């Protein structure tokens, strides 16, 4: 069986498990672009979920639609209150396309509904193209099954075999499924070894194991069920690759048995026949880890994606508060606030006519077209991107000053709404050490290990800064770039040591930054400021500031003063 067919088999099982016990599993996070493969999955879901209510949500849904609210148009027309019923009322399976666009607010509401209301479950159809575009973690944590069908071929994906009659049969069996002793312990330990912090995951894995046992007509969870649970629930959440038994990863893992075949030292010997050894479950999980995750983990970048993942969902458009602007006509609902005075003013001229046309002369006549909404203008947050020369020619001390300046700026960031990012360049390329953040905790952790040494690939550093700045702007921030270097660019964009080409590339990148019109500053940290850098500063449209003996405090003051938009 090919890899794709194998995976499809698991999709089939996953859907069947979910159909058996939607409430306990919480839901499915299906990551796949729109296409025939996803259509097949959806079709399978519809067959298997017969008898349950399916309701569709969209990521921009407002509270009125979720929890129920006033049907304003009908209320106004009838002169009495007409309420709509919320989507979250009653038990249902919610289907949400474009789930990668869910805002944190909606994610929090859905998550709490999934937690507190029984009978609700969610199928999140995530169509994200980039790794950053993903379901908010608060929500993903509540959905037991994570499926990634991004590279599933249609030829490996025949129609799903889900028979409602079989499912009904299994549903009857489900309440009687028992767990062997030690199954809970095994799943929990596997989860811990895979670096899964949340304790929801092992619980969801248990629910999957039970459903899988019921599906195969057993009233007891067998080792195949546990393996399936690990593959479907735990493997996709892994944040670390479990170390092999020779080198236990952390002291937290109770000393694993020396060989996987024989494990006499385990406390749960009586269940040897039923339970697969933990190592086997771990192997199953390892086989399921996507190859690119391995690469990511090795590059040590998984952690960046994990805690503060910046998907579309987490992006905040800097819409905190602001100056009131003139009201505009619009529809009520969602976060919109009605400007009552403006609404009444809009309705006033028509009252005489409307009264004459209506049979209720004594009341105020307001139509939907009169509704005016409040608007606020907000200023966006700043994102200061530090581009720091970490090459051999720049002394390690400068790097330390840059670190200090970043921490000082962040210390004041609460008041100023600053986000700070750090790009370091050295050797043959650049590295984003700190994506835009306001978190001091995260920053300290990242800055603790900033390496130094090697050539000066100035252009690569500027390019990374440019990319970061574009990303920050897309999130509603105003980026500014602060370059700290001693200016002897000697490695070009391709990573080759070539002084001439390196200089040309750096100039090109500087002009690209200037073209965007962002505030920037070039700080020369060389002991004897050379002529080259002020030319580069001019290319960037940035002030040039030689600061041979800058300490963290003067540096942060200089950056702050020159980057404040006029």
Partner 1 sequence: MKDFALSGPFPFSAIVGQEDMKLAMILTAIDPGIGGVLVFGDRGTGKSTAVRGLAALLPPITAVAGCPVNSAHEGDIPDWAQVTDRHVIEKPTPVIDLPLGATEDRVVGALDIEKALTRGEKAFEPGLLARANRGYLYIDEVNLLEDHLVDLLLDVAQSGQNVVEREGLSIRHAARFVLVGSGNPEEGELRPQLLDRFGLSVEVTSPRDIDTRIEVIRRRDAYDRDPIGFLTNWRGSDMDLRARIVAAKRALGQAEAGEPILRDCAELCVALGSDGLRGELTLLRAARALATFDGVTTVSRDHLRRVAPAALRHRLRRDPLDEAGSTTRVERVVTEVLG
Characterize 478-492 residue by residue with b for buried, 16 or more Cβ atoms within 10 angstroms of its Cβ, and e for exposed: bbbbbbbbbbbbbbb
Instruction: Compute the distance between CA of residue 10 and CA of residue 238 in angstroms, rounded to an integer.
Output: 18
- The 3-state DSSP composition of the chain as helix, strand, coil percent (nearest 5) reads 45, 15, 40
Q: How far is the CB of 99 from partner 1 (least distance, A)?
A: 17
Q: Report the residue number, 535 or 557, with the smaller CB distance to partner 1.
A: 557
Q: How many CB atoms lie within 10 A of CB 140?
A: 24
Given 47, 84, 91, 198, the residue binding partner 1 (CB under 8 A): 198
Backbone angles phi, psi at 293, to 5 degrees: -65, -40
Q: Report the residue number, 100 or 189, with the smaller CB distance to partner 1.
A: 189
Instruction: Compute the distance between CA of residue 502 and CA of residue 535 in angstroms, rounded to an integer.
Output: 14
Q: How far is the CB of 508 from partner 1 (least distance, A)?
A: 36
Q: How far is the CB of 385 from partner 1 (least distance, A)?
A: 18
73 binds partner 1 (CB under 8 A): no
Q: How far is the CB of 431 from partner 1 (least distance, A)?
A: 20
Tokens of 484: 């700290």
Alpha-carbon dihedral angle through residues 284, 286, 292, 297, given to the nearest 10 degrees = 160
45 binds partner 1 (CB under 8 A): no
Instruction: Compute the distance between CA of residue 88 and CA of residue 121 in angstroms, rounded to an integer.
Output: 10
Q: How far is the CB of 79 from partner 1 (least distance, A)?
A: 6
Q: How far is the CB of 239 from partner 1 (least distance, A)?
A: 12
- Report yes or no: 364 and 327 within 8 Å, Cβ to Cβ: no
553 binds partner 1 (CB under 8 A): no
Q: Report the residue number, 316 or 514, with the smaller CB distance to partner 1.
A: 316
Sheet containing 544-546, strands listed edge to edge, beginning at the edge strand earlier in sequence: 429-437, 418-426, 382-389, 478-485, 520-524, 544-546
335 binds partner 1 (CB under 8 A): yes
Binding to partner 1 (CB under 8 A): which residues in 362-381?
Answer: 363-364, 366
Give the three-class secondary structure for 178: strand
199 binds partner 1 (CB under 8 A): yes
Question: Which one of the spans 145-153, 197-205, 257-265, 536-544 is the region binding partner 1 (CB under 8 A)?
Answer: 197-205
Tokens of 465: 């800064």
Length of the chain, in residues? 566
Q: Report the residue number, 25 or 147, with the smaller CB distance to partner 1.
A: 25
91 binds partner 1 (CB under 8 A): no
Binding to partner 1 (CB under 8 A): which residues in 137-196?
Answer: 137-138, 141, 184-185, 187-189, 191-192
Per-residue x/- mask for partner 1, residues 404 to 443, rule CB under 8 A? x--xx-xx--xx----------------------xxxxx-
Tokens of 490: 């000697």
Per-residue x/- mask for partner 1, residues 504 to 543, rule CB under 8 A? ----------------------------------------
Tokens of 424: 């370091």
Alpha-carbon Rg for the chain, nearest whole angstrom, is 29
Q: How far is the CB of 504 from partner 1 (least distance, A)?
A: 39
Q: How far is the CB of 6 from partner 1 (least distance, A)?
A: 29
- CA distances to 311, 469, 483, 487, 555 from 384, in Å: 20, 9, 10, 20, 13
Q: Report the residue number, 352 or 364, with the smaller CB distance to partner 1.
A: 364
Q: How many CB atoms lie within 10 A of CB 115?
A: 11
Given 19, 280, 314, 489, the residue binding partner 1 (CB under 8 A): 314
444 binds partner 1 (CB under 8 A): yes
Per-residue x/- mask for partner 1, residues 263 to 302, rule CB under 8 A? ----------------------------------------
Beta-carbon contacts of 472 under 8 Å, excluding residues fewer than 6 positions away, are 383, 385, 419, 421, 436, 479
Secondary structure (H, E, C), 254-304: CCCCCCCCCCCCCCCHHHCCCCCCHHHHHHHHHHHCCHHHHHHHHCCCHHH
Question: Which one of the spans 314-322, 421-429, 500-508, 542-550 is the region binding partner 1 (CB under 8 A)?
Answer: 314-322
Helical H segments across 31-126, by residue range: 36-48, 63-67, 72-78, 104-116
Tokens of 27: 């839901």
Question: Which one of the spans 104-112, 156-164, 230-238, 490-498 is the region binding partner 1 (CB under 8 A)?
Answer: 104-112
Per-residue x/- mask for partner 1, residues 105 to 144, rule CB under 8 A? xxxxx-xx--xx--------------------xx--x---
Q: How many CB atoms lie within 10 A of CB 429?
A: 17
Given 47, 54, 55, 75, the residue binding partner 1 (CB under 8 A): 75
> Total number of residues binding partner 1 (CB under 8 A)?
69
Residues of this chain that bind partner 1 (CB under 8 A): 24, 63, 70, 72, 75-76, 79-81, 103-109, 111-112, 115-116, 137-138, 141, 184-185, 187-189, 191-192, 197-203, 206, 252-254, 307-308, 314, 316, 320-321, 332, 335, 337-338, 340, 363-364, 366, 404, 407-408, 410-411, 414-415, 438-442, 444, 448
């Amino acid at each position: 069986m090919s890899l794709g067919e194998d995976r499809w088999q698991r999709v089939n099982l996953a859907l069947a498990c979910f159909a058996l016990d939607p409430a306990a599993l919480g839901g499915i996070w299906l990551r796949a672009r729109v296409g025939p493969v996803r259509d097949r999955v959806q079709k399978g879901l519809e067959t298997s979920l017969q008898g349950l209510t399916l309701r569709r949500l969209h990521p921009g849904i407002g509270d009125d639609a979720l929890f129920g609210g006033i049907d304003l148009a009908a209320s106004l027309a009838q002169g009495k209150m007409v309420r709509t019923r919320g989507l979250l009322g009653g038990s249902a399976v919610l289907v949400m396309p474009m789930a990668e666009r869910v805002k944190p607010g909606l994610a929090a509401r859905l998550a709490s509904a999934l937690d507190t209301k029984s009978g609700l479950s969610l199928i999140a159809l995530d169509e994200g193209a980039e790794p950053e575009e993903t379901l908010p973690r608060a929500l993903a944590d509540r959905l037991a099954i994570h499926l990634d069908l991004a590279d599933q071929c249609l030829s490996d994906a025949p129609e799903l075999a889900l028979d409602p009659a079989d499912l009904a049969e299994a549903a009857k069996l489900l309440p009687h499924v028992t767990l062997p002793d030690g199954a809970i312990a095994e799943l929990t330990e596997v989860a811990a070894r895979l670096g899964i912090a949340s304790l929801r995951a092992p619980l969801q894995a248990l629910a999957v194991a039970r459903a899988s046992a019921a599906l195969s007509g057993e009233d007891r969870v067998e080792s195949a069920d546990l393996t399936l649970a690990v593959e479907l629930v735990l493997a996709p959440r892994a944040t670390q690759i479990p170390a092999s038994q020779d080198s236990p990863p952390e002291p937290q893992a109770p000393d694993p048995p020396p060989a996987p075949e024989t494990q006499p030292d385990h406390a749960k010997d009586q269940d040897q026949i039923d339970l697969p050894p933990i190592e086997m479950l771990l192997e199953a999980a390892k086989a399921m880890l996507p190859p690119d995750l391995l690469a990511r983990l090795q590059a040590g970048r998984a952690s960046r994606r994990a805690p503060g993942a910046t998907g579309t969902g987490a992006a905040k458009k800097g819409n905190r508060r602001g100056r009131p602007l003139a009201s505009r006509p619009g529809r009520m609902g969602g976060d919109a606030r009605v400007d009552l005075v403006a609404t009444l003013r809009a309705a006033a001229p028509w009252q005489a006519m409307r009264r004459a046309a209506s049979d209720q002369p004594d009341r105020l006549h307001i139509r939907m077209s009169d509704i005016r909404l409040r608007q606020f203008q907000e200023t966006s947050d700043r994102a200061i991107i530090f581009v720091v020369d970490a090459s051999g020619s720049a002394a390690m001390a400068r790097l330390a000053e840059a670190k200090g300046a970043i921490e000082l700026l962040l210390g004041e960031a609460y008041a100023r709404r600053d986000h700070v990012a750090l790009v370091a360049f050295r050797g043959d390329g650049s590295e984003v050490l700190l994506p835009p953040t306001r978190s001091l905790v995260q920053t300290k952790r990242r800055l603790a290990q900033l390496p130094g040494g090697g050539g000066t690939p100035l252009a690569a550093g500027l390019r990374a800064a440019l990319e970061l700045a574009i990303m920050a702007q897309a999130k509603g921030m105003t980026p500014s770039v602060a370059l700290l270097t001693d200016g002897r660019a000697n490695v070009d964009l391709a990573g080759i040591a070539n002084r001439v080409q390196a200089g040309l590339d750096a100039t090109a990148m500087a002009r690209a930054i200037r073209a965007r019109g962002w505030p920037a500053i070039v700080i020369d940290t060389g002991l004897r400021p050379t002529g080259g850098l002020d030319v580069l500063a001019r290319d960037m449209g940035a002030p040039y500031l030689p600061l041979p003996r800058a300490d963290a405090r003067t540096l942060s003051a200089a950056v702050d003063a020159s980057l404040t938009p006029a």
